[in-house]
């Protein structure tokens, strides 16, 4: 088998995963991105109003960027619905 055939075979075995779905965010990333404090994020988590993080090591927590984007999109939809009144 040639090296090229081995490479092609390995590429065919890889799952088709978009790198966007692999990006992970730490607490410090969220504080900067969302412009809210750590305590606000923890309060939202306690209320069940924020995506649940994944454990990373013994003490670390991370969030998939795609989940944060989905959460933000939901907040934006809710905000536009309230602003528009919804009864038109």
CA distances (Å), 11 to each of 2, 8, 52, 88, in order? Answer: 15, 5, 33, 53
Range of the domain at 79: 24-84
Q: What is the distance of C-alpha 21 from the center of its chain? A: 8
Global pTM reads: 0.69
Q: Is residue 13 part of a domain?
A: no
- pLDDT (0 to 100) of residue 9: 53
18 falls within a domain: no
Confidence of residue 11 (pLDDT cuts 50, 70, 90): low
Region 53-72 average pLDDT = 95
Residue 12 lies in a domain: no
Quote the number of domains for the chain. Answer: 1
29 within domain boundaries: yes
Residue 49 lies in a domain: yes
What average pLDDT is seen over the chain? 83
């Amino acid at each position: 088998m040639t090296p090229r055939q081995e490479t092609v075979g390995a590429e065919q075995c890889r799952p088709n995963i978009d790198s966007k779905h692999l990006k992970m965010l730490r607490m410090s990333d969220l504080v900067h991105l969302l412009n809210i404090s750590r305590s606000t994020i923890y309060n939202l988590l306690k209320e069940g109003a924020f995506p649940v993080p994944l454990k990373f090591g013994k003490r670390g927590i991370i969030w998939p960027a795609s989940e944060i984007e989905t959460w933000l999109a939901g907040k934006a939809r809710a905000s536009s619905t309230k602003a528009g009144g919804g009864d038109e």
